[in-house]
Amino acid sequence: MTNKQILKVGFDLDGVILYNPIRIFRPIAAFLKPFVFGKKTNSFYFPKTSFEQWLWKILHKTSFCPAPGVEEIKELVRQNKIEAYLITSRYSFLKDEFNKWLKALKAKRYFKDCFYNKNNLQPDEFKKMAIKKLRLDVFVEDNWGVIQKLNSSIPETKIFWLTNPFDQFIPYQYKFPSLKKVVDGLIKKTAKNLAV
């Protein structure tokens, strides 16, 4: 990290900026993945057929409102304590829904830039490219599988994990139970002037 006052912070959309109650079941889905697809894979699934993409759109509607803590993030931006970016791995066919959320969140007023996965890359690869390009100090993510891959490929960025009750037993240095606690962590990091 560089020695500067304003943190460059990226935020995932679903499960981080947007509240998604079913995100707590992600560890169960990860466990069942080999049984559904017939083999163990580290890849993230891309829905290919129109029916699968329609179903994907329905599933993403479970991210239905801004998470508690979003207003606090906006306040950090207003106070010039952070430079915020929105980085979601939503695939290209979710562009319209992504743009609706940008408008609802008034994102362009508070986020310096917003990115979605328009080329349908693997989510971790897309986020890694965006994080490296922006040279972020911190990225906030809720998917443990993505976090593991990011930590091994971009150690210069601190990955904050917005975790859930099923994952509490996993040891991790930058683990937070809510977005509001993430904000507290960002404030502490700003106060230390990125000394950690």
Q: Is residue 30 part of a domain?
A: no
Q: Is residue 54 part of a domain?
A: no
**Domain CATH number, residue 106:** 3.40.50.1000
Mean pLDDT computed over 96-125: 94
Q: Is residue 47 part of a domain?
A: no
SS3 content of the chain, % helix, strand, coil (to 5): 45, 20, 35
Note the pLDDT of residue 31.
46
Q: Is residue 46 part of a domain?
A: no
Residue with tokens 């091994």: 152
Backbone angles phi, psi at 10, to 5 degrees: -105, 145
Q: Is residue 40 part of a domain?
A: no
Q: Is residue 50 part of a domain?
A: no
Q: Is residue 83 part of a domain?
A: yes
Kindly state the tokens that stand for 23: 């995100």
- pLDDT tens digits for 44-94? 776 778 877 677 666 767 676 899 999 999 999 999 999 999 999 999 888
Note the pLDDT of residue 20.
79
Domain residues for 78?
7-25+60-191
| pTM metric for this prediction | 0.83
Number of domain units in the chain? 1
Helix (H) or strand (E) holding 170: none
Helix 144-153 and helix 123-134, axial crossing angle in degrees, nearest 10: 50
Q: Is residue 81 part of a domain?
A: yes
